[in-house]
Amino acid sequence: PIASRELKSMYGSLKSVIGSKVKESATWSKFTAFVEQARRWEDSVGEVLGQRRAMLHQLIDLQKDAKEQFPSVSFDSLPNLLKRIQGVRKWAARERKAIRDRSTLAQLRQLLVDRKDECQKTLSQHTVRIEIEVARAEEWSNRLSKAVKSKAPASVFAGLLEEVQQGDALLLVQPEDISLAREFVKRYCLCNDFYQDGDMMIECDLCSDWFHPRCVRMSDDVAGRIARKSGSYQCPRCCLARGKKYKYGSASEIVAAATGGAAAPTAA
């Protein structure tokens, strides 16, 4: 094979010495077209390898063109092209495995960082998918942070959790973020409702559930006094389960009222 630089040098030398009749011949026209195509191929390699984001299939297409159209030419840029293809293919296999194994968000972030030295700016289809999924997870986490800071209603957090549960393939949200969102949609009390910012609630020493004073026949003042004095409180449900007397009324009536929706009078 002839080196591409020698091909161009030969073409330039011949062009300067041959006569006009030779230049008009079909053979010279074909040779000129061949040299121009080879030059454009090298230019294309330089452009693709220098792109901010190039796809692996672009490199493979150039490799195929060189093999089919210029089998007798040894391009100076071909080794770099083949080296890049080999590197990206190796990382594409790792990326494919990471997707199949449902790697964590942190693992995929690190994979995107580690691949850069060898692959530089060339991506496989698996790279693109990982980038999309990492971006989706980060966007989800940002919305969660904004919801927490703005004290959004429970329905917002429920919607975020639904996206995770119904998301396709990945949506690789951090486990701690999911746990945080669940805290804001956790249901409390006999009324089985969400916590709303500003709600007065009291914790049961036995089951650690939280209760609205109004739902357990207690006034906010009584609940406040217990909280301020770090007093003990046992909810109607726990008292009923343990056969204990509930301090603020009939435990069975209170639990039944909550189930049936009947209002319960409060103790002052």
When computed from its CA atoms, the radius of gyration of the chain, rounded to whole angstroms, is 36
Task: Answer yes or no: are the C-beta atoms of 112 and 136 closer than 8 Å.
Answer: no
Give, for 193, the enclosing helix (H) or strand (E): strand 193-194
pTM comes to 0.63
- Angle CA 143–148–149, to nearest 5: 100
pLDDT at 166: 66
Cβ partners under 8 Å of residue 63, min gap 6: 78, 81, 82, 85
Residue 25 predicted with pLDDT over 70: yes
Residue 194 predicted with pLDDT over 90: no
Residue 101 predicted with pLDDT over 60: yes
The H-assigned helical ranges of the chain are 4-17, 20-23, 26-50, 56-69, 78-100, 105-114, 116-119, 125-149, 154-166, 175-185, 220-228, 236-242, 251-260
Residue 85 predicted with pLDDT over 80: yes
Residue 268 predicted with pLDDT over 50: no
